[in-house]
Chains A and B, each alone.
Chain A
């Protein structure tokens, strides 16, 4: 079963990391990711640009375009993983491993309903 691991954290806080610390966290996360990839369990992974780069479209009629993220919250959606796990226990283990590499903030684990891998390349 596919699960989305949605990463929430205080953007200001993450933005206060030094370059070295940021690189260190990314390095540690990549170790966990590589393991999952080797087992064929890793789907798309994304780190999102800051919410200052976000735009919101409210689907009113006509649609309303607003600057900034959809919701103003203490923690922001900063990225996500798609992983293939047998059950909740297994995906929680993955999230714990990721959390060890990058402590702080919150992971929201959501089973995926419909999934199109798509073909878009960066």
Chain B
């Protein structure tokens, strides 16, 4: 590793714990962030000479705290600061003590609190994600703006606004009780899933730029799971993200077009991520305490386990979507279930299942894409054409539209011979 690369990795991995602890100490996000920045600057000066400290997070917390306190004192008394080196050498003795305390349960709640602040319910989803990526992950505004495909200035403004809103909100700093902790955990899990989706729902031409969002979401999920090792839903969430991200290399063709699961080159799936995801879902199932993330991960696991599309256990997937419908009733879940139903009981049964969804999904691209596909399988090509046209009108990305056009082309090809005969 080059001289600074190991420092970068150490600062990145220590960040959630250090900023979380500094936030508990200062009770102000800006002060905590600034203290962490200052500590990083000192680390860049001190670590190359002295080597990495035994516990980088404890070092950063200690230095960040001292620098901030010195600053307050200096402002108050206008007194000169002690020399840098002296301030840092004092730390070595103190490091042991603080490291001891950090090993306790404190830092678990520190990191959870930091994540929880970012998913404040008054913040729109995009602001939650941006804030978490900035504060917890430490991505630069430029990096975040790039992933969101907006200008740096716009992202800067979005983050500033989110911070201001969070600053006004009172987040309790005392150690949370069991119920509150599990509520926080659920909000944070939802936010991590949002971060992932922001990257995952990218179209082919932006997938490369946005995939760091998926990777960051996985890193945060693993972090959360390490803090709460026995939470089956956090295992499920992590497994779900790993299993979905495992397919990243196979999801788009060279032209940026979506490749559906059935048509993907499964040799491109990342087997290490799949192995980790399957291990986690196995662990989660042992708890016999199911939840939406676990069920979705179990569905993803069935896809991951199938060596060819024909090996897919659609009966089991149908059952799992049925369970998910009970936990999280939603027309989108039913729509997904219908795809499994079409494989098990045929397109007729599937079409019947999605008919009642029409009023609620009348502006949903995928509804008309799926409906068109069922109609096409039933040979009702004219109706399929109508559904596909509607889907194109509702497409969010050019890749989505192009994908539907491909279906239409197939319809045209299939129907051509008949046209010729008619003439």
Identify which of B5, B54, B225 contacts A52 (C-beta below 8 A).
B225
Please tell me if the beta carbons of A49 and B276 are within 8 angstroms of each other in the complex: yes
Judge whether A97 is part of the interface by a CB distance below 8 angstroms.
Answer: no
Which residues of B199-227 are within 8 A (CB) of A?
215, 219, 222-223, 225-226
CB atoms of A10 and B13 under 8 A apart: yes
Residues of B in contact with A, size category: 20 to 34
List B contacts of A51 (CB < 8 A). Answer: 226
CA separation between A74 and B230, bound complex, in Å?
A: 19
Residue pair B9, A16 in contact (C-beta under 8 Å): yes
Q: Which residues of B (236-280) have their CB < 8 Å from a CB of A?
A: 238, 272, 275-276, 279-280
Determine which of B10, B215, B279, B283 lies in contact with A19 in the assembled complex, contact meaning CB atoms within 8 Å: B215
A43 within 8 Å of B (CB atoms): no
A12-B13, A52-B229, A55-B283 are contacts. A21–B5 as well, Cβ < 8 Å? Answer: yes
**Smallest CB–CB gap between B112 and chain A, Å?**
16
Q: How far is the CA of A50 from the CA of B218 in the complex (A)?
A: 12
Q: Is A13 an interface residue (CB 8 A)?
A: yes
Interface size on A, residues (CB 8 A): 23
Q: Are A74 and B55 in contact (CB under 8 A)?
A: yes
B151 interfacial by beta-carbon distance below 8 Å: no
Tell me whether A103 and B6 are in contact (CB under 8 A). Answer: yes
Contact A67 B5 (CB under 8 A): no
* Chain A residues packing against B (C-beta within 8 Å): 10-13, 15-17, 19, 21, 25, 49-53, 55, 65-68, 74, 103-104
Could you list 27 examples of A-B contacts with CB < 8 Å?
A10-B13, A11-B226, A12-B13, A12-B14, A12-B223, A15-B13, A16-B9, A16-B10, A16-B12, A16-B13, A17-B9, A19-B215, A21-B1, A49-B272, A49-B275, A49-B279, A52-B225, A52-B238, A53-B276, A65-B286, A67-B283, A68-B226, A74-B54, A74-B55, A103-B1, A103-B6, A104-B52
Residues of A within 8 A of B223 (CB): 12
In the complex, which residues of chain B have a beta carbon less than 8 angstroms from the beta carbon of A66? 230
Which residues of B in the span 101-136 have a Cβ within 8 Å of any Cβ on A? none
Q: Residues of B with Cβ closer than 8 Å to A?
A: 1, 5-6, 9-10, 12-14, 52, 54-55, 215, 219, 222-223, 225-226, 229-230, 235, 238, 272, 275-276, 279-280, 283, 286
Q: Which residue of chain A has the shortest Cβ distance to B2 in the bound complex?
A: A21
A53 touches B13 (CB 8 A): no
Known: A53-B276, A103-B1. A13 touches B10 (CB 8 A): yes
List B contacts of A74 (CB < 8 A).
54-55
- Residue with the greatest number of chain A CB neighbours at <10 A, chosen from B9, B12, B55, B230: B9
Compute how far the CA of A49 lies from the CA of B276 in the bound complex, rounded to whole angstroms. 7
Chain B residues within 8 Å of A55, by CB: 283
A53 to B14, alpha carbons, bound, how many Å? 21
Task: For B229, list chain A residues within 8 Å (CB).
Answer: 52, 67-68
- With A16-B13, A21-B1, A103-B1 in contact, do A50 and B230 touch (Cβ < 8 Å)? no
The reply to whether A53 and B6 contact each other, CB–CB distance below 8 Å, is: no
| Complexed CA–CA distance, A66 and B283 (Å) | 10
Q: How far is the CA of A10 from the CA of B1 in the complex (A)?
A: 15
Q: Assuming A12-B226, A67-B229, what are 12 further A-B pairs, CB within 8 angstroms?
A: A10-B13, A12-B14, A12-B223, A15-B13, A15-B222, A52-B222, A53-B283, A67-B230, A67-B235, A74-B54, A103-B1, A104-B6
